[in-house]
Amino acid sequence: MPELVFFSGTMDCGKSTLALQIEHNRSARGLVGMIFTRNDRAGEGKLSSRLGLVTDAVEATDGMDLYAHLVDHLSHGGRADYVIADEAQFLAPEQIDQLARVVDDLGIDVYAFGITTDFRSKLFPGSQRLVELADRVEVLQVEALCWCGARATHNARTVGGVMVVEGAQVVVGDVNQSADEVGYEVLCRRHHRRRMTAATAHAAALSPDVLPVSPA
Ligand SMILES: Nc1ncnc2c1ncn2[C@@H]1O[C@H](COP(=O)(O)OP(=O)(O)O)[C@@H](O)[C@H]1O
Ligand SMILES: Cc1cn([C@H]2C[C@H](O)[C@@H](COP(=O)(O)O)O2)c(=O)[nH]c1=O
């Protein structure tokens, strides 16, 4: 049975790498995929991983009907044995419905990859719809870690290393950004709730308030 599978996890846990591996393994066996992406850091129409691999993809723009795109492709003699959708959190809920229709009406497997929640721990609309519709939700096996060593479950947005909680839901960016840039850091829930990033934890550890005081 064809499936809609949602591979989810925090930022930097290997989702795009897995998407590229699935693409590689299938194309090595002569299968042909249709790859969608949206707002990849490498630029429009790219699916990239931090391991340095990148492939061309179809940019899923606002209002684009992904089901109609597939039907048009197939009816013009194109082939699609499976579909990959990376950065699926950025897709509109209607586009997730269209991907479900690809599975049900065209009998094609769809593998979607994305982060579930934003920097405020709120579901992205596209991810919410995937959780609602997917046949399976798979959490990636490679755990991203919080600075404290616990499993990272949340995405923090940072400015100069300090966690922020105001701003637009969508701001394309990366982890390990330099000091003044807007960036992201993955944290465990405890430290996300306390807004404690690696930089602020380090600063607190250096503060005289928390240093052990030797008796005079
Ligand atoms: N220099 C490196 N050496 C080995 N693994 C790396 C290196 N850089 C990144 N990675 C791996 O790549 C993962 C990020 O992969 P990526 O597919 O870009 O993540 P995602 O799409 O989930 O944001 C990291 O969690 C890590 O496992
Ligand atoms: C938490 C969060 C993330 N984003 C952006 C930042 C990146 O461009 C992508 C995630 O990409 P990755 O391959 O999973 O690292 O999402 C955002 O726009 N808003 C957020 O709240």
- Alpha-helical regions (H) of 33-159: 66-75, 93-106, 125-133
Do both 160 and 101 map to the same domain? no
Query: Whose Cα sits closest to atom 16 in ligand 2?
Result: 172
In the reported structure, the alpha carbon of residue 10 is separated from the centroid of ligand 1 by a whole-number distance in angstroms of 12
* Whole-angstrom distance, CA of residue 3 vs CA of residue 9: 19
Q: Say what the pLDDT of residue 206 is.
A: 73
Identify whether 155 is part of a domain.
yes
Q: Say what the pLDDT of residue 142 is.
A: 84
CATH code, domain with 171? 3.30.60
Do both 134 and 187 map to the same domain? no
Question: 46-48 and 54-56 as β-strands: parallel, antiparallel, unpaired?
Answer: antiparallel
Can you tell me the mean pLDDT for 161-176? 95
- The ligand whose atoms approach the alpha carbon of 19 most closely is 1
Query: Tell me: the pLDDT tens digits for 14-72?
Result: 999 999 999 999 999 999 999 999 999 999 999 999 999 999 999 999 999 999 999 99
Whether residue 37 contacts residue 46, with contact meaning beta carbons closer than 8 Å, is answered with yes
Joined together, the tokens standing for residue 100 give 């479900």
Do both 19 and 113 map to the same domain? yes
Joined together, the tokens standing for residue 126 give 């596209």
Do both 29 and 102 map to the same domain? yes
Place of tokens 């959490």: 139
Comparison of pLDDT for 143 and 101, the residue scoring more: 101
Identify whether 214 is part of a domain.
no
Can you tell me the mean pLDDT for 140-165? 94
- C-beta of 172 in contact with ligand 2 (< 6 A): yes
Do both 130 and 161 map to the same domain? no
Q: Say what the pLDDT of residue 213 is.
A: 53
Do both 163 and 132 map to the same domain? no
Q: What is the DSSP letter of 46?
A: E
Identify whether 60 is part of a domain.
yes
pTM (two decimals): 0.94
Can you tell me the mean pLDDT for 163-184? 92
- One-letter amino acid for residue 6 of the chain: F
Do both 109 and 20 map to the same domain? yes
Query: Tell me: the pLDDT tens digits for 67-123?
Result: 999 999 999 999 999 999 999 999 999 999 999 999 999 999 999 999 999 999 999
Identify whether 215 is part of a domain.
no
Do both 9 and 107 map to the same domain? yes
CATH code, domain with 96? 3.40.50.300
Respond yes or no: is residue 87 known to be catalytic. yes
Domain count, the chain: 2
* Whole-angstrom distance, CA of residue 201 vs CA of residue 160: 13
Distance of CA 103 to the CA centre of its chain: 21
In the reported structure, the alpha carbon of residue 50 is separated from the centroid of ligand 1 by a whole-number distance in angstroms of 5
Which of 141, 163, 185 is the C-terminal boundary of a domain?
Answer: 141
Domain that holds residue 21: 1-141
Is 151 a residue whose pLDDT tops 60? yes
* Whole-angstrom distance, CA of residue 133 vs CA of residue 178: 38
Task: Give the rounded percent of residues in the chain with a pLDDT score beyond 90.
Answer: 88
In the reported structure, the alpha carbon of residue 48 is separated from the centroid of ligand 2 by a whole-number distance in angstroms of 13
Whether residue 4 contacts residue 113, with contact meaning beta carbons closer than 8 Å, is answered with no
Identify whether 14 is part of a domain.
yes
Identify whether 190 is part of a domain.
yes
- One-letter amino acid for residue 39 of the chain: N
Do both 134 and 196 map to the same domain? no
Identify whether 58 is part of a domain.
yes
Is 11 a residue whose pLDDT tops 70? yes
Identify whether 213 is part of a domain.
no
Q: Say what the pLDDT of residue 215 is.
A: 53
Do both 94 and 186 map to the same domain? no
**Summary mean pLDDT of the chain:** 94
- C-beta of 86 in contact with ligand 2 (< 6 A): no
Choose, from 87, 138, 143, 166, the residue flagged as catalytic: 87
For residue 112, give the nearest of 77, 75, 84 by alpha carbon.
Answer: 84
Whether residue 155 contacts residue 197, with contact meaning beta carbons closer than 8 Å, is answered with no
Do both 83 and 112 map to the same domain? yes
Query: Tell me: the pLDDT tens digits for 117-132?
Result: 999 999 999 999 999 9
3-state class percentages of the chain: helix first, strand second, coil last, to nearest 5: 30, 25, 45
